Structure 1
Amino acid sequence: MSKVLSNKSNLQVLYEDNHIIIINKRAGDIVQGDKTGDKPLSDVVKEYIAEKYNKPGNVYLGVVHRLDRPTTGIVVFARTSKVLPRLNALFVSKNIHKTYWAVVKNKPPKTEDKLIHWLKKNPKNNKSTAHTKEIKDSKKAILHYKTINKLDNYYLLEVNLETGRHHQIRSQLSNIGCTIKGDLKYGFNRSNPDASIHLHARHIAFEHPVKKEPIKISAPPPKDPIWNACL
């Protein structure tokens, strides 16, 4: 995967207080441990907290949500067991607003649109297929996209989710002929050199579950010529 994975010295911290820490995830990082046995981002964040605040023993960190391994951008963690269920409730109730950027090769059918599909996950190849009609074991998926920039050879889409399904953005955009740059799994013709895909969790906004203050965070995309052209 990515050549520059996160470690406690290069961790991109976007926000932190006693309750929450928000990280700009690099491509290649896994948010939580999996069967690969690779070191997850959650462990890196624990090491960062332990060192910065000189905490002996185990550091608590709650995983609130995940991003796909080749995806970059905002990941929120809970720093206390008290805050974790409150953050979980925000995500479940949709009282949290997330915006993604996706770079695609083909021009979308419409400048902006609402996409409704039924996604069926295949655990064998870890892939979700988008269907225009409901089929057995499928889940309804809804997103909104709009074209916000035209690059030399690509289009930059802003995507907002109504639902949170497995590989939802990747699968739904692929279904309309707009596979994300570098996403071999969903039909792009070649991979990115670092095995990333050009999908980035760009903005997040929610009410702090303890302080009751508005939190609005933007994550800078990775530094590469395509992303640089988007800014």
Structure 2
Amino acid sequence: MTEEQLTAFERRILFEDNHVLVVLKEPNELIQGDKTGDQDLLSKVKSYVKHKYDKPGDAYIGLVHRMDRPVGGLLVFAKTSKAAQRLSEQLREKKLKREYVCVCAGQLPPAFTLRDFLYKDTKSNMVTIVPSYLRKGKEAILHAQKIASVGDTNLVCIRLETGRAHQIRVQMAGFNSPLIFDQRYGGETGRGQIALWGMRLSFDHPITKKHMVFVAPPPFEGIWQTYQKELQLLTGQWPTIIEQLPEGTLD
């Protein structure tokens, strides 16, 4: 990593200490290396730590949670194995909260919860909603609140209760509200990044126990520009998203 690359990557970091690093993932950036051979964020974080602190060998960086490749937003990485273990525990116990904004089509109620069972076909890399009685799907729950509507589009805040592959994209499509530009799952066709962004991330620091909250809006361009005012307001005041399953959502 050159000095120029180091400086550019530092601009993406919202917080860093000896234990954790919070960084913005760019849309269409891999989280972890795969068969495509494209550069991935985990390798970039390792390279950044190695070069900035002159560490010999390969720097330890723990991958705590994931994000679909087309999606951008906030991610936390662990810089020690102890931090990785404790953050992973928070993720399992639903204390590490990941909240998103999306722009989707259709008519939506003010607030809603979706509970489905999702099955991923590893050959096609497609995820589908399946009946629970088939027992091959994994339970997926999200809670959502509509913030604003313009024409046939809606700005929605979403809190994940589970973290499944393509979860928000598939569940919203199943709710007849596909994400804008998510052509894989029935979204509007056209040129543009999928309208989904990891805007808010909160967890307890794995060592100090201090509660930490990070908020970063998407770039105000494309479809996001339509909702710039609302996104700016959300940056300062995030809504209280429902966390209970209302009647009628279970099988």
TM exceeds 0.5?
yes
Match of residue 54 from structure 2? 54
8 Å CA contact retained: 2:105, 2:152: yes
- Select the structure with the greater relative contact order (CA < 8 A; seq sep ≥ 6): 1
Mapping 1:8-47, distance limit 5 Å:
8-11=6-9, 12-47=12-47
Match of residue 222 from structure 1? 219
Match of residue 116 from structure 1? 115
Mapping 1:54-203, distance limit 5 Å:
54-108=54-108, 110-131=109-130, 133-193=132-192, 196-203=193-200
Structure with the higher helix share, 1 or 2:
2
The runs of 5 or more residues in structure 1 that have no matched partner are: 1-6
Distance 1:35 1:191, change over 3 A: farther
Which portions of structure 1, spanning 4 or more consecutive aligned residues, are displaced by more than 4 angstroms? none
So what's the TM-score if we normalise by structure 1? 0.89
Distance in 2 between residues matched to 1:132 and 1:147, nearest whole Å: 27
8 Å CA contact retained: 1:183, 1:191: no
So what's the TM-score if we normalise by structure 2? 0.83
Cα-to-partner distance string for 1:161-216 (whole Å, 9 max, x where unaligned): 121112111110000111111111101131434xx311111111111110110110
8 Å CA contact retained: 1:118, 1:134: no
The runs of 5 or more residues in structure 2 that have no matched partner are: 232-251
Distance in 2 between residues matched to 1:75 and 1:192, nearest whole Å: 26
**Percent pairwise identity:** 36
8 Å CA contact retained: 2:75, 2:201: no
Give the superposed CA RMSD. Answer: 1.7
How many residues in Structure 1 have an aligned counterpart in Structure 2?
A: 222
